[in-house]
Amino acid sequence: MVPPPWSWRQEEIAHNTKESPPDLQLRRLRDEAATAISELESAVSALPPHLLALCALCVGSAGTISARCIYRRYWKRISSAEWVTPDILKRRRWIKGYVTSVGDADNFRLYHMPGLGWRWPLKFRLVPARKDLREQTIHIRLAGVDAPEAAHFGNSAQPFAEESLSWLKGQIEGQTVYCQLIRKDQYGRIVSQVHLKPRFLPGFLVAGRNLSLEMLRAGWAETYEQAGAEYGRWGSAEFLRLQAEAQANRRGIWKYGLDLESAADYKRRHAAAGTSKMAKKTVKLTVATPPVQDDASRIGQIRRLLVRVWR
């Protein structure tokens, strides 16, 4: 016997309105969440007011401390080398910055750029003009290398000093670099492992090329082997290998061979010459200074003169 048409319609509606298992599970989760929220509200309303105030104070303090730590770590600028604390050097912190100027072939000035807001489309922080950068940059010294010395304090420059400086300017001046701060040297500069900006991926994901190694590879510096040398994870062997490779191929400062006065020997020679000049000046001053008579000798001379006049 064929059922009437209206029964077919009722069965179709019942079939369409029947919930599937995922819908039932979602509804069950919603009910459980609503029950948990209502129980929590009941428990909170049952607490004494002073306890609620104490909990709110603790939560607010924890939030303030967390926000301050995040600001100091990711948003606060390091204005100059004087603001680099021993704790920062101990942790060998990485920072990102803009190279404002290159003063010598192995050091430069860096404007620290922490956090966001330095690039489009979220650019709301700007690097000041050069005239406004006084006491706003960190003096960075490249770790592990020593470049030819430029003319300083009346001393002549080393060979290839200008070419080495020009190479470094072409690599980093006006560019963004990443620096791992290691220690402070005797001149107040921050010795750092410097990495160039990666070509494609962000700097916090991958490290770019190491600037000290690139300089050695190009032949515009030599390995720094004095006390306190820092070579990072590569070690001195890799630095010396790249220097030997540049020497073998006569690159950069090795163009005319290996008979070249190192930057360290240049500094020692001029330091010794300056010391000898100071010693000569001291001797001349000592010889030219007349003997100073004390009060007793002057009184004796006056007494003898009076005796002669009285006689």
Q: Provide the CATH number for the domain around residue 170.
A: 2.40.50.90
Q: Is residue 18 part of a domain?
A: no
Q: 239, 258, 277: which is the final residue of a domain?
A: 258
What pLDDT, on the 0 to 100 scale, is given for residue 270?
Answer: 86
Residue 59: inside a domain: no
Q: What integer pLDDT is reported at residue 89 of this predicted model?
A: 96
Find the helix or strand (DSSP H, E) in which 103 lies: strand 94-104
For residues 303 and 275, membership in a common domain is answered with: yes
In a domain, 271, yes or no: yes
Q: Is residue 69 one of the residues assigned to a domain?
A: no
Q: Which two tokens stand for residue 22?
A: 């995922």
Residue 71 is assigned to a structural domain of this protein: no
Claim to verify: residue 127 and residue 210 sit in the same structural domain? yes
* One domain for residues 291 and 243: no
Going residue by residue through the chain, which has 311 residues, state the pLDDT in tens, using 9 for 90 and above.
Answer: 555 555 555 555 555 555 566 777 888 888 888 898 888 888 877 878 877 788 788 888 888 887 777 767 668 999 999 999 999 999 999 999 999 999 889 999 999 999 888 988 888 899 998 888 988 999 999 999 999 999 887 889 999 999 999 999 999 999 999 999 999 999 999 999 999 999 878 777 788 999 999 999 999 999 999 988 999 999 999 999 999 999 999 999 999 999 889 998 998 888 887 776 666 665 555 555 555 555 666 666 767 766 665 65
Are 282 and 180 contained in the same domain?
Answer: no
Amino acid, single-letter form, for residue 207: A
Stated pTM of the model? 0.71
Residues 212 and 89 in one domain: yes
Whether 223 contacts 194, CB under 8 Å? no
**Residue 193 and residue 232 in one domain:** yes
CB burial of residue 215 (10 Å; 0-12, 13-18, 19+): buried
In DSSP terms, 133 is beta-bridged to none
Give the pLDDT of residue 10: 55
Provide the 3-class DSSP secondary structure of residue 283: helix
Check whether residue 166 and residue 99 sit in a common domain. Answer: yes
Q: Are both 222 and 297 inside the same structural domain?
A: no
Closest to 238 in 3D by CA, of 104, 106, 141, 143: 143
Confidence (pLDDT) at 61: 86
**Residues 103 and 239 placed together within one structural domain of the fold:** yes
Question: Do β-strands 138-142 and 190-196 pair in parallel, antiparallel, or remain unpaired?
Answer: parallel
What local confidence, expressed as pLDDT, does residue 12 receive? 55
Q: Which domain holds residue 248?
A: 81-258
Q: In the chain, how many domains are there?
A: 2
Structural domain contains residue 22: no
d(CA 208, CA 211): 9
**Pair 133, 245 in one domain:** yes
Model pLDDT, residue 70 = 75
pLDDT at 191: 97
Residue 233 resides in a domain: yes
Same domain, yes or no: 143 and 289: no
The token pair at 130 is 């050069």
Alpha-carbon span 149 to 267, nearest angstrom: 8
Which residues are identified as catalytic? 141, 149, 189
> Which residues have a Cβ under 8 Å from the Cβ of 27 and sit 6 or more positions away?
19
Q: What is the dihedral of CA 200, 206, 208, 210, to 10 degrees?
A: -170
Judgement on whether residues 244 and 272 belong to the same structural domain of the protein: no
**In this structure, is residue 75 part of a structural domain?**
no
